[in-house]
Chains A and B, each alone.
Chain A
Amino acid sequence: MNIQIRGIHKAFASFPALDGVNLDIESGELIALLGPSGSGKTTLLRTIAGLEFPDAGEISFGGENIASRPVRERGVGFVFQHYALFKHMTVADNIAFGLNVRKGSARPSKEAIQQRVHELLDLVQLSGLDKRYPSQLSGGQRQRVALARALAIDPKVLLLDEPFGALDAKVRKDLRRWLRELHDKTGYTTIFVTHDQEEALELADRVVVMNRGRIEQVGNNQQVYEQPATPFVFDFLGSVNILPGEVKDRQLRFDGSDDVWDSESKESGLVDIYVRPHDLQIVDAAAPGLDATVTLVQRAGALIRISAALATSGERIELELSHLDTLARSRQPGDAIRVAPITFGLFPRAPHRRPTTLPDVVPNAPAENRERARN
Chain B
Amino acid sequence: MTSAAPTTRARALRPRSAIPGFGLTLGFTLLYLSLIVLIPLAGVFLKSASLGWEGIWHVVSSPRVVAALKLSFGAALIGAGINAVFGTLVAWVFVRYQFPGKRFFDAAIDLPFALPTAVAGIALTALYAPNGWIGQYLEPLGIKVAYSPLGVIVACTFISLPFVVRTVQPVLEEAEKELEEAAASLGANRWQTITRVILPTVLPALITGFTLAFARAVGEYGSIIFIAGNLPMVSEIAPLLIIIKLEEFDYAGATAVAAAMLVLSFLLLLVINGLQIWTRSRRNRK
Binding site for B on A (CB under 8 A): 49-51, 70-72, 74-78, 80, 82, 84, 86-89, 97-98, 101-102, 133, 135-136, 149-150, 152-153, 367-368, 371
Contacts and interface: CB of A to CB of B under 8 A. Distances in A.
Contacts of B188: 72, 97-98, 101
B187 A72 contact: yes
5 contacts: A72-B184, A97-B183, A135-B285, A135-B286, A368-B178
B181 A72 contact: no
Contacts of A97: 183, 186, 188, 196
Contact of B176 (A71, A77, A84, A89): A84
Nearest to A367: B178
B197 A86 contact: yes
Contacts of A87: 201, 283
Given A76-B185, A87-B201, 11 more contacts: A51-B181, A72-B187, A80-B176, A86-B196, A101-B187, A101-B192, A102-B187, A135-B284, A152-B186, A367-B178, A368-B176
Contacts of A72: 184-189
A167 to B, nearest CB: 17
Given A78-B181, A80-B178, A88 B283 contact: yes
Contacts of A51: 181, 184-185
Which 9 residue pairs across A and B have the least CB separation, nearest first? A98-B186, A84-B178, A84-B182, A88-B200, A78-B185, A101-B188, A80-B178, A101-B192, A72-B184
B177 interface: yes
B179 A84 contact: yes
A84 B197 CA distance: 11
Contacts of B283: 87-88, 133, 135
A368 B196 CA distance: 22
Contact of B285 (A50, A84, A133, A368): A133
A343 B245 CA distance: 99
Nearest to B180: A84
Given A101-B196, A133-B285, A135-B283, A71 B185 contact: yes
A51 B179 CA distance: 12
Interface residues of B, number: 24
Contacts of B179: 84, 86
Nearest to A88: B200
Contacts of B176: 80, 82, 84, 367-368
A371 to B, nearest CB: 8
Interface string B266-286: 000000000000000011111
Nearest to B286: A136
Interface string B22-62: 00000000000000000000000000000000000000000
A115 to B, nearest CB: 18
A255 B203 CA distance: 69
Contact of A149 (B184, B186, B196, B197): B186
A71 B184 contact: yes
A315 to B, nearest CB: 46
B285 A101 contact: no
B21 to A, nearest CB: 31
Contacts of B203: 88
A91 B162 CA distance: 35
B119 to A, nearest CB: 38
A70 B187 CA distance: 10
A75 B185 CA distance: 7
Contacts of B286: 135-136
Contacts of A371: 177
A194 B189 CA distance: 30
Interface in B191-214: 192, 196-197, 200-201, 203
Interface in B148-201: 176-179, 181-189, 192, 196-197, 200-201
Contacts of B182: 78, 80, 84, 86, 149
Contacts of A88: 200-201, 203, 282-283
